[in-house]
Amino acid sequence: MRPRVGLSQGYAEGTRENGISRFLGLPYAAPPVGDRRWQPPGRPEPWEGVRDASRFGPVCPQTRGASFDLRVSAQSEDCLHLNVWTQTLEREARQPVMVWIHGGGFLGGAGSEDAFDGARLAARGVTVVTVNYRLGAFGFAADPAVGSNFGVLDQIAALEWVAQNIDAFGGDPGNVTVFGQSAGAASVRALLSARRARDLFHRAIMQSAGFEPAAGLPTPPGPERTMDATRDLFARLGGDAGTARKASTEDVLALSVDLAGVRPKPGQVHTPANLVWTPVYDDRDVASGDDFAGWPSQVPVILGCVENEARYFLPPSAPFPPAMVENMAAVLGGAHREGVLDLLNTSGATTYEALDELFTTAIFTEPALATLKRFAALDRPLYYYRFGRVSPGLKASGHLAQHTAEIRYVFGNLEPADAYDDTDAALSADMQNAWVSFARTGVPALPDGSPWPRHHGGDPAMTVITHTLRAEPFTTTKLTDLIHSLRP
């Protein structure tokens, strides 16, 4: 017999396999189509009878950005669906809830991607939720007359749905962890800044993003750039939002990609700092900036990076001339361009290795350091990790511990199997244990059961993840310190 639950909208029937029930493609908001395009998400519509929840819903319109197999071919603006995995449907179970927000540069991805399948994580006694949200210009156009942050509002609507319905899946609405990677981690930071999200989650994990803007950028990302792109978008679609709402999905998508900032200038490489369609801190109740209005003082946070973030964006097989390092040092090194080049030139690194180190440090590691200092000054429960495990598959390809490398370990989905070994399997179990421990208690656990060291301003510490997890004193590199000195 297929598992069935009663929700606020009606009954839904999922599937069960290997002791895990899964419910896919559940709508958490009204379809944002027609006049609802560039509007806050509406309340989800009820249905009659029993809804078939055995298949993922359509992904949000996209042409790039997904890191893994979407497992869905259909695309639609009617994409505000979520998926749930759980081993129990007993309301009294009160399991911790883990809500995953996918990455993809706010341009692609979905909660259906195979690396995010929640079955193995749910087997550890948590209720797992993955969410779709509006992408690109559909989710992040910003106009004073229309509004902004529609993708963030979608995420808040999903958390409101969780608060109302998750007990039907054995989950505890009073113990919700939001976690995400890349754009998903930036979304978590936006939720920390959203008054409307306050008390909808109780722990937060930010993987490889959600940090300060890069220190060396002369003009960091901001509302002006997004608003300029939005004005251009509306102008090309007829002149205003009302007319643009009548444009086809295909036309909006094409312009969304064209204006997204994904094409680097000649002689440079693309970095996530170039992206235009991102949350806008607007000093409203959606994303209120650096006062973190959605972050109660007792909510703990994990944040972390991987060692070779840049290699996800820089294919090891591509030719990179030495001049590329000089160009990117000018872009990312700011006033310390010459000092940056001296450090890279004296390290003995190849051109590709130097690009990796500079890109990873300037876009991820140093901004994470700045965020650690900001969060530590707020005296919140804070944990930091650095992931450096290189699986056999990533070693053979030269990608090493690239951006996204940790995700399959967190979810336990080490596939294809021939790309991982027994060390990876053991590490995945330890990482799942740490993430679930954090979701359950607010404190991540080391393999021996002891807690991760907290990161304090006066006594900084971190957890290093290679073949296992271990506590170490917090350290930085000379390049990180040099770029960090650019900050006021």
- Residue 397 phi, psi dihedral angles, 5° rounding: -85, -15
Q: Which of 309, 357, 366, 406 is catalytic?
A: 309
Q: Active site includes 45?
A: no
Burial 115-133 (b: 16+ CB within 10 A, else e): bbbbbbbbbbbbbbbbbbb
Beta-sheet strands, E only, within 379-437 = 382-387
CA 22 – CA 86 distance, rounded (Å): 7
Please list the residues that pair with 84 across neighbouring strands: 23, 129
Mutual angle of helices 337-346 and 322-332, in 10-degree steps? 140
Chain centre distance of CA 3: 30
- Give the residue among 113, 87, 97, 118 at the shortest CA–CA distance from 165: 97
> 140 to each of 27, 76, 339, 378, how far by Cα in Å?
20, 17, 37, 29
DSSP 8-state code for residue 147 = B
Is residue 182 part of the annotated active site? The answer reads yes
User: Which one-letter DSSP state was computed for residue 364?
Assistant: I
Q: Which of 182, 256, 288, 437 is flagged as catalytic? A: 182
Tokens of 113: 């991607």
How far is residue 111's CA from residue 488's CA, in Å, rounded to a whole number? 38
**Is position 309 annotated as part of the catalytic site?**
yes
Q: What share of the chain is helix, strand, coil (3-state, %, to 5)?
A: 35, 15, 45
Catalytic, out of 102, 403, 455, 484: 403
CA-based radius of gyration for the chain: 22
CA distances from 194 to 191, 335, 382, 473 (A): 5, 34, 19, 32
Long-range CB contacts for residues 244-253, cutoff 8 Å, separation at least 24: 244/37, 244/38, 245/34, 245/35, 245/37, 245/38, 249/61, 249/76, 249/77, 252/37, 252/61, 252/137, 252/138, 253/61, 253/62, 253/63, 253/136, 253/138
Annotated catalytic residues are: 182, 309, 403
